[in-house]
Amino acid sequence: MNNNQTFPYRYVRPEVLPLLSSGEVFTRADKAPTRASFAEAVIDIGGRNPKVVVLDADVSKSIGTNKFAAEYPDRAFNFGIAEQNMFAAAAGMATTGLIPFACTYAVFASMRALDMVRNAIHYPGLNVKIAASHSGITPGPDGVTHQGQEDLSIMRSIANSTVIAPADPDTTTLAIHAAAAYQGPVYLSFTRDPVPKIFTADYPFEIGKAVTVREGRDVTIIAMRDLTAHALVAAERLAAKKIDARVIDCPTLKPLDTESILAAARETGAVVTAENNVIFGGLGSAVAELLVENEPMPMQRIGVQDTFAESGPYLDLLDKYGLSAPHIAAAAESVVKRK
Amino acid sequence: MAQVPLSVDELKKMAATIRCDIIEMICTAEAGHPGGSLSATDIVTALYFRLMQIDPANPRWPDRDRFILSKGHACPVWYAALAERGFFDKSHLATLRRLGSILQGHPDMNKVPGIDMTAGSLGQGLSVGIGMALAGKLQKKDYHVWVVIGDGESQEGSIWEAAMSGAKWQLDNLTAILDRNNLQNDWHVDELMPIEPVADKWRAFGWRVVEIDGHDMEAVVAALEGAKENKGGPTLILARTVKGKGVSYMENVCEWHGKAPCQEEADQALEEIRRCSCEQ
């Protein structure tokens, strides 16, 4: 890093930088689950807009939306363990001009209630915000039934969808505000497990925009949600091997920032994608589709392979299922060799 | 344009007109669902021409009553009622299911003036109605939400999720009307997957239940008016109906769930409906 002519990082907290090369960012940096940022942001937004309502399905204590319910009891609706009813009711509320945030775990939002999410929310384009915690294999100890490893792929396939998966607690807050201001359905993906606070307050969050958070010339690593921090660690490992990796945080899976991604790919000539989501139909697929139709080049996808995970500590799971920094770095080395 | 609210006799005549529209639409489209449209006709007619607070010139009037046809495949009855009520020109009815038509095979709220909710996937409309009713309470609006559900549709678990929540929130601004025609796509509801004792089920879920003959216009109007006046909780009107009502060869015949009459069959149907209407 010191050999670079210019300081490569953008919007990365200064106190995090020394923790990247050692990987200590995951143990020593300030951490919080992004679901907690959502729970706080929705109180803030609800305080300023009386049309904001929060719908829960018996996991408000887990997501933290019970705090909204305590603050605004008349605008909080707990549907019990009945996600199908909750999402269709959210659609009904939205037809009257309310702005419902319907909250549950990613597996239930994207699968249990998918028919409602597709037909009652996205087909009519109703202004429902789907707040999905436990996305990816982030609820480590809970095991497979609660690990939403397909939600981003499923939601991306639905017409009119906007799919957002912010990387850290503070950019999650920015994303919630942007989603609330946006007219139409938005799927918001959060982590159950704590992730490091990596970005500064001036991070330019905008729906549909990817943000370059590390400049680099040899390879572009495009990462989302909790794997962006791992991509930054991977970039440090690569720097030690004289590979200069660009890192793009891509909080909006859909609409994909095709312009920025294509430009970065052309400038670096090789691409790695990193997502805590199945490799089918998510970020890797989206970028591969973009590149193969515009600028085919060496590319590798980091993501959950054709398998279910298991119970275990979050970071150990990322290692075991091939998602953590060493895997990202190895993939980058491999694509650079193929250039 | 008919002057609303219609009397019971006028409602009967309007129902006959709407039944004729349904037959003509589906015959012209060569596809559609006549059976469940005809079974729900008297209910929908009473709602649109007597009960509902609506303004055809302002279909998205925020204070309007809402209607949801949760059994969305029966949309020919909804389209016909909206057209007869003046929400859009009747000439659209001949475009049902055609490329570019506002009248999709299942209703689309963004294409048709007066359609309050997109429908088609069963088991969703009552939940949408729950949301609209909760929103009405929260925003202190006086509107009433009317939802027609099917008896086959009542096999969907989500119907019962919605039922639970309607009682929890004591939604007296919400009424569900169960079109109990006892036929579904494959076979008789009571044999394929029985839902009885369905009135007891709704009562057990905390709803006020009113049982009526869904083709007795006087009873339909009385039940709807009673539901609107009732306070303290939601009402389920169990409307016993005949699938294909008004067309002799369609009545209680499963095959007419989703089959279009040919021109000859349509002519016979129209004649039967008109004759019956004149005799009233």
Amino acid code (one letter) for A93: M
| Interface contact flag, B165 A79, Cβ < 8 Å | yes
3-state secondary structure of A235: helix
Looking at residue B280, its pLDDT comes to 66
Looking at residue A139, its pLDDT comes to 85
**For chain B, how big is the Rg over CA atoms in Å?**
17
Nearest-CA residue of chain A relative to B129? A92
Q: Rounded to 5 degrees, what are φ and ψ at A255?
A: -75, 135
What lies within 8 Å, CB to CB, of B200 at 6+ separation is none
Interface mutation target, options B71, B106, B108, B130, chain A, most CBs of A under 10 Å: B130
Looking at residue A219, its pLDDT comes to 98
Interface mutation target, options A51, A95, A121, A122, chain B, most CBs of B under 10 Å: A95
Query: Is any Cβ of chain B less than 8 angstroms from the Cβ of A207?
Result: no
The topology (CATH level 3) of A17-30+201-337 is Rossmann fold (3.40.50)
Looking at residue B1, its pLDDT comes to 62
**Residues B39-44, mean pLDDT to the nearest whole number:** 98
What confidence tier does B278 reach under pLDDT thresholds 50, 70, 90?
Answer: confident
What lies within 8 Å, CB to CB, of B277 at 6+ separation is B12, B13, B16
Return residue ranges of chain A for CATH 3.40.50.920.
17-30+201-337
Note whether A225 and A136 are within 8 A (CB): yes
A2-16, A48-62, A256-270, B108-122: which has the minimum mean pLDDT? A2-16
Check A24, A83, A150, A236 and give the catalytic one. Answer: A83
Residue B3 forms part of a structural domain: no
pLDDT tens readout for residues B94-120: 999 999 999 999 999 999 999 999 999
Residue B227 forms part of a structural domain: yes
Q: Rounded to 5 degrees, what are φ and ψ at B260?
A: -90, 140
| Interface contact flag, B124 A120, Cβ < 8 Å | yes
A85 → closest Cβ in B62, B121, B161: B161
> How many alpha carbons lie under 13 Å from residue A312 in its C-beta half-sphere?
11
Residue B2 forms part of a structural domain: no
For the residues of A284-310, what is the DSSP string, one character each?
A: HHHHHHHHHHH----EEEEEE-SS---
3-state secondary structure of A192: coil
Residues of chain B contacting residue A72, judged by C-beta atoms under 8 Å apart: none
Checking if the pLDDT of B4 tops 90, the result is: yes
Residues of chain A contacting residue B124, judged by C-beta atoms under 8 Å apart: 84, 88, 115-116, 119-120
Nearest-CA residue of chain A relative to B131? A89
B120 → closest Cβ in A80, A84, A119: A119
In angstroms, what CA-CA distances link A229 with A38, A214, A232, A236, B145? 19, 11, 5, 11, 49
| Interface contact flag, A85 B109, Cβ < 8 Å | no
| Interface contact flag, A96 B135, Cβ < 8 Å | yes
- Centre a 10 Å sphere on the Cβ of residue B110 and count the other Cβ atoms it contains: 11
Checking if the pLDDT of B31 tops 60, the result is: yes
B130 → closest Cβ in A89, A95, A124: A89
Mean model confidence pLDDT for chain A? 97
Return residue ranges of chain A for CATH 3.40.50.970.
32-196
Looking at residue B60, its pLDDT comes to 98
- A-B Cβ pairs (cutoff 8 Å, strict): 106
Residues of chain B contacting residue A74, judged by C-beta atoms under 8 Å apart: 138
Reading the block at residue B212, the tokens are: 């009526």
CATH code at A32-196: 3.40.50.970
Looking at residue B9, its pLDDT comes to 97
In angstroms, what CA-CA distances link B175 with A37, B45, B47, B128, B163? 39, 16, 11, 12, 11
Using CA atoms, how far apart are residues A76 and A132, in angstroms rounded to an integer?
17
Q: How many domains does chain B have?
A: 1
Residue B1 forms part of a structural domain: no
pLDDT tens readout for residues B58-79: 999 999 999 999 999 999 999 9
The whole-model pTM stands at 0.97
For the residues of A71-109, what is the DSSP string, one character each?
A: H-GGGEEE--S-HHHHHHHHHHHHHTT-EEEEEEEHHII
**CATH code, domain carrying B199:** 3.40.50.970
3-state secondary structure of A279: coil
What confidence tier does A140 reach under pLDDT thresholds 50, 70, 90?
Answer: confident
Note whether B214 and B36 are within 8 A (CB): no
Note whether B97 and B75 are within 8 A (CB): no
A215 is catalytic: no
3-state secondary structure of B62: coil
What confidence tier does A138 reach under pLDDT thresholds 50, 70, 90?
Answer: confident
Looking at residue A2, its pLDDT comes to 45
Q: Which runs of consecutive H residues, i.e. helices, occur in A96-197? A: 106-107, 114-116, 151-156, 169-181
| Interface contact flag, A98 B138, Cβ < 8 Å | yes
**Residues B228-243, mean pLDDT to the nearest whole number:** 98
Residues of chain A contacting residue B121, judged by C-beta atoms under 8 Å apart: 115-116, 119-120
**Residues B188-202, mean pLDDT to the nearest whole number:** 98
Range of the domain at B121: 8-279
Looking at residue B103, its pLDDT comes to 98
Looking at residue A5, its pLDDT comes to 57
Reading the block at residue A136, the tokens are: 């990816």
Residue B21 forms part of a structural domain: yes
| Interface contact flag, B131 A97, Cβ < 8 Å | no
Residues of chain B contacting residue A96, judged by C-beta atoms under 8 Å apart: 62, 132, 135-136, 139, 141
